[in-house]
Chain A
Amino acid sequence: MLLRHTTAKEIDRKALTINPAKTCQPVGAMYAALGIHGCLPHSHGSQGCCSYHRSALSRHFKEPVMAATSSFSEGSSVFGGSANLVQAIDTIFKVYSPEIIAVHTTCLSETIGDDLTQIVSKAVEDGCVPEGKMVIHCNTPSYVGTHVTGYSNQVAAMVKFFSTATPKKKNVVNLVAGWMEPSDMGEIKRLASVMEARTIMFPDMTGVLDTPMNGHYKMYPDGGTTSKDLIATGDSKFTLGLGQYCTEDACIKLENKCKVKFEILDIPIGFKATDRFLMSLSRHANLPIPDSLSDERGRLIDLIADNAKYLYGKRVALFGDPDTLIPLTEFLVSLDMRPVYIVTGTPGKPFDERMTELLKDIPEAKFKSGETADMFRMHQWIKQEGVDLLIGNTYGKYIARDEDTPFVRFGFPIADRPGHNYFAKTGYNGAANLVTQILDAFLDHEDRTCAEEKLEFQL
C-alpha cells in the first residue's frame, strides 16, 4: 500500500494539512500571466518559488514555461527587495525583451512589505522600462487563499493595467477565462466563433501552452491576449466571467472602471453549464445559437443515453478547484451519478452554497473547502465507504491504486499523462470527451478484473 498510514478514523485536525488539494497563490499568477501575449511573468521572491512554479507548470503542460525571479538573498530579505526588482526589470527588458513584465509577489516579499507600486515607479523613473513597454503587478501572498486566488489577482491586474473605456462601445463580449486548459479555452472560442460572436478572451493560453514543434523556439509564442485586445476590453458591451473564483474580481473591476456589465457563469463543463454559456452569449451578443450547436448537444445526449446504465448511481469522489468542481459536480449529477465526496483546499462560501444546492438529492454526500480540506481527509472518507470513481489531479493515482478505484485525471497538475492541453473538456464535445474517459476508466477496470466468462465483447 502506498498511503498505508491513512485510516478511516478521523481526528479533529486543525493545524496539519496532509496531501493538500491546493497550492499557493504565485503559481496561479504565473499561469494567468502566460495568457498575455509577449509577457514574461516575474516572481518577486526567492529563486525557489519561481523554480517550483515553472517546474509544476512545465510538468503539467509539457511546454516551455518562462518566468524570471528577483533572486532574493538574505540581505534583500532584511533590507527589502526594491533593488532586486529594479535590477530585474532592467535586466529582463535588456536581455529577454518582453513587451510586458507581469510581477507577482510571494510570501517572502509580502512578509517584508515590499510595495510594488513604488518599486515599479522607481524602475520607470530610473529608465529601466523602455518606451512602449509595460510592467504590471499584483499581490499574491502565499499565506492568503490558494493558487486560484493568485490566478484571480493576476486577471484583475489585467483589467487594472489595461482595460480602457473610450466613448464608443463595441459589439464585443469579453470572455474572462477561469483556470482551465488551453484546450478548454480553444473550445470555448470555437463555440463563440460558430455563433459568429465577436469576443475577446483573457487570459488566453491557447497558442502559448500548446505550441507546435517546428524547430523554432519562440520565447513569446504567437498566442495570448494582446495588449491591444486587453485595452479594448473596456469598450466591450458585456463581460462573461467563466468561473466565479477566478474571474469575479476582474469582472467587478472592469465594471467599476469601464462600465462594462457582467455576468458570472460556470466554466462550461457538462451540458447544463454549456447550455447556460451559449444562452448567455447568445443574449449578450444578440445572436442566435446555430443548429450545428444543437446537433453537438444532441450527439452528447445520445452518447450519455447509450451508456446510461454504466453511469447510473455510481459513487464519485472528486478534488480540485471550486470553479471546475462546481460544474463538474453538476454534470455528474446530470449523468445520474452520485458525487459523494468533494474537497477543495480553496476557501470560499460560493463553493459551499453551490454544493449544498447541487447535492440536495444526495444526502450521503460530504464536501469541505478551505484549510484541512485535503486529500488525506477525502481518502479517510473513502476508507469509511468506498467510491466507484475518483476524479482529480495526478496525486489521486496513489489513492486510486491503493483502493483499486477507476481514476479520471482532471485538474492541476496532471504530470503523468499527456493530452489534457490538446483535448478539451469544455463545451458539448468536451463533455463527450469527459464521459468517454469516465466510461473507459470503468470499462477498462471491469475488463481487467471481471471473471473470464463475464468478459463482454460489446457494450
Chain B
Amino acid sequence: MDKNKKETLDLSKFKEEVLAIYPPKIAKKRGKSILLNDPDTIPEIQANVRTIPGIITQRGCTYAGCKGVVLGPTRDIINITHGPIGCGFYSWLTRRNQTRTTSDDQENFIPYTFSTDMQDSNIVFGGEEKLKAAIREAIELFNPKGIAIFSTCPVGLIGDDVHRVSRQMVEEYPDVNIFGFSCEGYRGVSQSAGHHIANNGLFKHLIGRKDDVTPTSKFRVNVLGEYNIGGDAFAIDSLFEKCGIEIVSTMSGNSTLENFETAHTADLSLVMCHRSINYVAEMLETSFGIPWTKGNFIGADATAKTMRKVGEYFGDAELSAQIEKVIAEEMIAVKAAADKATAKTTGKTTMIFVGGSRAHHYQELFSELGMTTITAGYEFGHRDDYEGRRVIPTIKIDADSRNIEEITVTQDATRFKPRKTEEELEKLKAGGLEFNNYDGLMKDMEKGTLVIDDLSHHEMEKLIELYKPDVFCAGIKEKYVVQKMGIPLKQLHNYDSGGPYAAFEGAINFYKDIEMIACSTIFKQMKAPWESEEFVTAEYVFN
C-alpha cells in the first residue's frame, strides 16, 4: 500500500453517498452526525442522541453500561441482576475484565453471575420479596462485604424499588454494604447513561468510606476509567510501581471495594476513559479537592507523556528522574518492536468505531505504526468527547439526559483538602499541564478525515465499499461482517482475546498484533484458483 493512500481517497463524497439510501427525515438526522473534520475550527457534531428505531446500531443499554462496564470488574462484591435471566447471563464473563487475587482465600465473584430470574408472577405481583430472598440467600451462601442490585427494564416499569429494598436489607444486615442502581435498559440513549448512574452510585455508596490508609508512596494517584480488559490495568500497575507511584484506586479494573472506599485519599486523578468516569473525577475534586487530568496509556508516546505529567504535577525531582529512567528503559524494547512492525504497517489505513474514548486513544497506537485513521467515531460518546469539554455549557439537555439523576456534590466538611495552592496550580498550568479538561477526538484527527457518531450498519458497509481500509476496528457484532468483506477487523472491546495494549508493554503487544494482521496471508486466498481470470478452461469436443 502506498504511503499516500489517504490522499487518494475522496472522503468528502461519503456523506452524500451514504445518506442517499435513507428516507429524507433519517438522512437529515444522520447527516448531523457525519462530518469532515477540521481540527482548527472543530465543527459541531450531533452525538448522544437517540438511535432511530430500525437502524442497526452498535449501541447497547444503560444496564450494560452500569453493571457490565463500571461495576462489573470489582471482584469482592456480589452484583445481583434484578430481572429476567437474560441480562445477568449476557453480562457474565463477556467483558474480559481480568482480576487477580494473591491467594484463594480472597474473595472473587467475577466468575459468577447472580440473578433474581424474575418470572411472570414477579412481574404481576412485584419482585421485591424475591429480591430480598435472593439477598438473604447470597449472604447465607457467601457472606460478602457488599451487594449491588442492578435494575433491568421491567423493574422500573412494575415499580420495584431497589433502593428501598437495599435500605431495608442493610437494616437486616448492617455489616453488608447493600445498594441499588436504577439502570433500566430503556433509560438514556446508550450505555453512557449507565456509566453516569454507576458513577453516582460509586460516589454515594463507596467512595470515601474509609479514611484509614497505609500509603506505600508519597505519590498517590487514582487511575479512573481503566477496566483491565486484557490486563491493561496490570500493565499500568507495573509501570507505576517501577516509577515509585502508588495507585490508590483503579476504577474499576482489578478493583476491590476498598480501592473505591479510599480513593479520596489520592492526590491526583488520571482520567483514561473520559466518557465513562468523568463524573467521578469531577466529584472527587469538588468533594475532596483532588484535581484531575486526562491521561492516556494507549500508545508508547502517550504513556510517556502521561507519566511525565504525573512527574510535573508532584514536582519532585527524584520522581521525575525515575520516570525518565523508566521511560528510557522501556522505550528500548518499544522502539525495536515498532521498527519491526512499521516495516509492514507504514502507509496503511484504519477506521475505528468503538466506545467513548478508545476510538480516540487507539489512533495514537496506529500512528506509531505509521498508519492513518481515516475515519473514527464513538458508539456512545457525547459532544465533549468529540469537540472537547469547552462545549459542555452549550450542550442542550434533552429529555433523555434529563432522566438521568444528577447528584449534587458539595465540599466534604472535614476531608476537603486542596492538593495544590492556587499559585502552584497556575504555575503548573503555565507549564502546560492541563486540569479538568479533555480536548476530544476531533482536535487530534487530521483535516478532512471523517468523524461519524453512532455508526450504523449501512454506513459501515459503505465506508468499507468506498475506502477499503487495511484494518477496521470495532466490536464482536461487526467483526464477522467486515471480515466477510475481506477486511480484517481488530476488536477494540475485547482485543480478540489479546492484550494488554496499555502502557509500554501493551504498545509492543499491539504492534505485534497489527503486524500479524498486516502480514496475514489468508485474506489473499478468498478466491479459488479456478475463479481467477487467468484460469482458462478447456473442454474435449466429442464428435
A residues with a Cβ closer than 8 A to B are 1-5, 11, 13-20, 22-27, 42, 45-49, 51-56, 58-59, 61-77, 84-85, 87-92, 94-96, 106-108, 111-112, 141-144, 146, 211, 213-218, 345, 371-372, 376, 395, 398, 415
Contact = CB atoms under 8 A, between A and B. Distances in A.
A47 B23 contact: no
B57 interface: yes
Nearest to A415: B94
Contact of B458 (A3, A95, A213, A376): A95
B140 interface: yes
B94 A16 contact: no
Interface stretch (B40-48, B114-122, B385-393, B427-435): B114-122
Nearest to A215: B486
Given A52-B86, A71-B51, A85-B53, A14 B153 contact: no
A70 B154 contact: no
Contacts of A19: 92, 112-113
22 contacts: A5-B108, A15-B130, A17-B114, A19-B112, A19-B113, A20-B88, A22-B89, A23-B86, A23-B90, A24-B86, A49-B185, A55-B90, A64-B484, A69-B57, A73-B399, A90-B23, A94-B21, A107-B152, A111-B154, A143-B84, A218-B484, A372-B117
Interface of B: 21-23, 26, 50-64, 80, 83-94, 104, 107-109, 111-120, 122-123, 130-134, 136-138, 140-142, 152-154, 156-158, 184-191, 399-400, 403, 456-458, 461, 475-477, 479-486, 526-527
B51 A20 contact: no
A217 B482 CA distance: 8
Nearest to A380: B141
B477 A58 contact: yes
Nearest to B465: A217
A64 B56 contact: no
A18 B186 contact: no
Given A16-B114, A85-B53, A111 B158 contact: yes
Nearest to A211: B484
Given A16-B133, A108-B185, A48 B61 contact: yes
Contacts of A22: 85, 89
B79 to A, nearest CB: 12
A47 B85 contact: no
B458 A96 contact: yes
A408 B108 CA distance: 26
A107 B104 contact: no
Contact of A68 (B56, B92, B116, B157): B56
Contacts of A143: 84, 118-120, 122-123, 154
Nearest to B139: A16
Contacts of A5: 107-109, 112, 141-142
A144 B120 contact: yes
A423 to B, nearest CB: 19
B86 A15 contact: no
Contact of A15 (B60, B134, B152): B134
A371 B157 CA distance: 23
A52 B400 contact: no
Nearest to A401: B111
B90 A45 contact: no
B117 to A, nearest CB: 4
B89 A23 contact: yes
A4 B89 contact: no
Contact of A48 (B64, B123, B457): B64
A87 B52 contact: yes
Given A15-B137, A107-B154, A371-B119, A48 B63 contact: yes
